[in-house]
Chain A
């Protein structure tokens, strides 16, 4: 028996019984063995207040986005000081106890439950519930900051449930940070987003976690008719970071734009998996993912567009372009299309290569030093993803963070010493 099913059986009473989740999880245990190393993580089942106050010492590197971010420190929710009218942003645990009617049923179909999300079903303890009320338009983005900080190696399960009610319009920034980079952390995260009829919701993400952080994130998004969902993820620092993004475009007029950019060095292992499924007619999706892989990093992009038989007049595009900045970096790209319907426009394209030597020589011939020229070219390579970020102030900030990130590549310092979150 895997250590985590053992852990579960010892602690099942403290969580309340979740027999279906246990069954689903046990069926998938063999898929998990490799994830849980070292096997000495603690799980905060009793909801002890850990002797850390990450929130106090934390300074956000992305200021001016939200006046008052909500925090999730490990898996404990700390509310924002104030919220706009028509918005719920609260502890998911509290919502489950006090207002269970606010939490919709899970979006995942039985066959879509992975080992990781089964484990999350079993062990999630807190997270956030976000609801944007019907017709509410937010002028400023909401912000949720996930901070890992503990005096011991820690395993956390968080869950974020988002409902954008009909005709609402809002954006959310989620930042992921590691406070104590000496510790092993394993984060298991499940996000479910419903974008209801005519609503617009954008979710931008910035990850700056430590090399010892293992992150397993799974996001499920469903789009009703005329719903628009936009997401841009930036991974600036990570350990072993795996993000699955599953989007169902259910009804006519649904649109999804899913973008991502990654800068990886050292032994970082960032991975993105996308599953974009078109069910309704006249739905569209667009994906752009770009990786800059340096050092001995090991990067993965696998992206699937699936067009169901019902989804006539679908437009779906995917592009994945990658730069290898060192001879030891690895990039695994696996774009895929599955189309069960004739009348569609779909395309995908993937390239992996190196910086254009002609561009590099051109810049050097004008006096730009080689390292600086390379950095400018790498930043330029990521520019279209940065420009796709919904939150304007985040775009500027991201350009700056990317510049600093690339400077860190050149200097050869430990990435944590350069982490912008820790050294603002």
Chain B
């Protein structure tokens, strides 16, 4: 009975998730549970599968899912197209946001917002409603008024690209946001703006997964849980102190433990 109640509260429930790209298995059985209001950090050495995990959850067709399940608020993500995963409340902030010359931010966001409204049987926003929403949300990450007419990410600085990701997150109001290496390529001021934006958007009803190499971001976005991903599995889970320990000791001690266990 107790167990069941817990289950229904899970915002994200991933079990045994395995995935490959071009025949190479990257995720080898990931288990992760995230509840509303929580912030999780996923850390790990390069090549451990952190970005792959986020991309597989978001439905990147480059990957093949080999097994396991992933439910978002009770909805089976793996059966949905990337666009419907977005509508259901999943948001991925890309490590490398894509430049799309010729598509303005206004048209891009309008298409996204109105597709979501249509999915839920709502009328599309008209131009005035939409621009008002954009204005309100871009203030969260201090993006200027030229944003609407600029092409998506084209000519944006590294910091602007990441702020633009958080702006899109603000527009789409996801249940679960996965921030993939949002701190990479950011100077300290941009990092602060991005982190403050994320914290402003945090509520008791949504959750955030922060994927990062470094402890630095976690000084700004405080995690409730820290997981270490290595060789396609979560090999350690702890509280915020685990991130500090990793900062101090590096990943080698975990790698050595896992590699030794594998060999024996």
Contact = CB atoms under 8 A, between A and B. Distances in A.
B59 A376 contact: no
A380 B102 contact: yes
A369 interface: yes
A64 interface: no
A358 B100 CA distance: 10
Interface residues of B, number: 32
Given A366-B172, A376-B111, A361 B100 contact: no
B205 to A, nearest CB: 19
Nearest to B55: A361
Among B58, B94, B98, B119, the one with the most A-chain Cβ atoms within 10 Å of its Cβ is B98
Contacts of A381: 102
Contact of B61 (A361, A362, A368): A361
Given A370-B81, A380-B102, A365 B86 contact: yes
Contacts of B115: 367-369, 372
A380 B100 contact: yes
Contacts of A373: 111
B112 A366 contact: yes
A377 interface: yes
Contact of A369 (B83, B85, B94, B113): B83
Contact of A368 (B58, B83, B97): B83
A363 B108 contact: yes
Contacts of A365: 58-60, 82-83, 85-86, 92, 94
Nearest to B85: A365
B94 A362 contact: yes
B103 A367 contact: no
A358 B111 contact: no
Given A358-B98, A361-B82, A362-B98, A367 B62 contact: no
Contacts of B101: 380, 383
Nearest to B102: A380
Among B61, B102, B168, the one with the most A-chain Cβ atoms within 10 Å of its Cβ is B102
A128 to B, nearest CB: 35
B45 to A, nearest CB: 24
Contacts of A380: 100-103, 151
A367 B102 contact: no
Interface in A354-402: 356-359, 361-370, 372-373, 376-377, 379-384
B76 interface: no
Q: How large is the interface on A (under 10, 10 to 19, 20 to 34, 35 or more residues)?
A: 20 to 34
Interface in B80-95: 81-83, 85-87, 92, 94
B35 interface: no
Contacts of B87: 367
Contact of B100 (A364, A377, A382): A377
B168 A366 contact: yes
B203 interface: no
B107 interface: yes
B102 A368 contact: no
A38 B61 CA distance: 47
Among A364, A373, A376, the one with the most B-chain Cβ atoms within 10 Å of its Cβ is A364
Given A366-B86, A367-B83, A370-B81, A357 B100 contact: no
Contacts of A362: 94, 97-98, 100
Q: Which 5 A-B pairs have the closest CB atoms?
A: A380-B102, A367-B86, A383-B102, A364-B82, A362-B98
Given A365-B60, A365-B82, A377-B103, 5 more contacts: A362-B100, A367-B115, A368-B111, A369-B83, A384-B102
Interface of A: 356-359, 361-370, 372-373, 376-377, 379-384
Interface of B: 58-62, 81-83, 85-87, 92, 94, 97-103, 107-109, 111-113, 115-116, 119, 151, 168, 172
